[in-house]
Amino acid sequence: EAGVTQFPSHSVIEKGQTVTLRCDPISGHDNLYWYRRVMGKEIKFLLHFVKESKQDESGMPNNRFLAERTGGTYSTLKVQPAELEDSGVYFCASSQEGAVYGYTFGSGTRLTVV
C-alpha cells in the first residue's frame, strides 16, 4: 500500500509569507495527525483529525496556523504569516481507528523561514 505522502518535501519562504503544506494519508485511515520538530527539540504534537473533524488541536502554537481536512481525505496545514520560529520539519501521520501502534509517518516537509 502507498504510504503517507507529504509535499513539498522542502520549502524556503520569507518571513511574512504564506505556506501551505499538504498531507495525503494512507487510504482508509480515518485518523490524521500533524507533528512538528523544531531545531534541537523533540517532535511535538500539533493536532489530530478523525475524518474531517478536529479531535484535538491542543498543540497548535497560535492562530497563524490553520489545518483543514477536506472530505476526510487529504489535509493541509497553512502558516500565515510565517515567522522565523516556524522553521522546522512538519510530519504528518495517519492510523486506522484505535490503532495507536499503527501510526505511519510521512517523510516530512522541511520548512525554512528566512
Partner 1 sequence: QKEVEQDPGPLSVPEGAIVSLNCTYSNSAFQYFMWYRQYSRKGPELLMYTYSSGNKEDGRFTAQVDKSSKYISLFIRDSQPSDSATYLCAMSGAGILTGGGNKLTFGTGTQLKVEL
CA angle (108, 109, 111) in 5-degree steps:
140
Site for partner 1 contains 36 (CB under 8 A): no
Residue 24 sits in the site that holds partner 1 (CB under 8 A): no
CB 47 within 8 A of CB 67: yes
User: Which is closer to partner 1, CB of 13 or CB of 50?
Assistant: 50
Q: Could you say whether residue 26 binds partner 1 (CB under 8 A)?
A: no
Residue 61 or residue 81: which is nearer to partner 1 going by CB? 61
Quick note: the x/- pattern for partner 1 over 81-100, rule CB under 8 A, is ----------x-x-x-xxxx
Strand order in the sheet with 19-24: 5-7, 19-24, 75-79, 65-69
Q: Using the rule CB under 8 A, is 20 a contact of partner 1?
A: no
Residue given cell 485511515 in the structure block: 29
Closest residue by Cα to residue 13 from 63, 81, 66? 81
Site string for partner 1, 52-71 (x = CB under 8 A): ---xx-xx------------
How crowded is residue 52: how many other Cβ atoms within 10 Å of its Cβ?
A: 14
Interface ranges with partner 1 (CB under 8 A): 4, 30-31, 33, 35, 40-45, 48, 50, 55-56, 58-59, 91, 93, 95, 97-103, 105-108
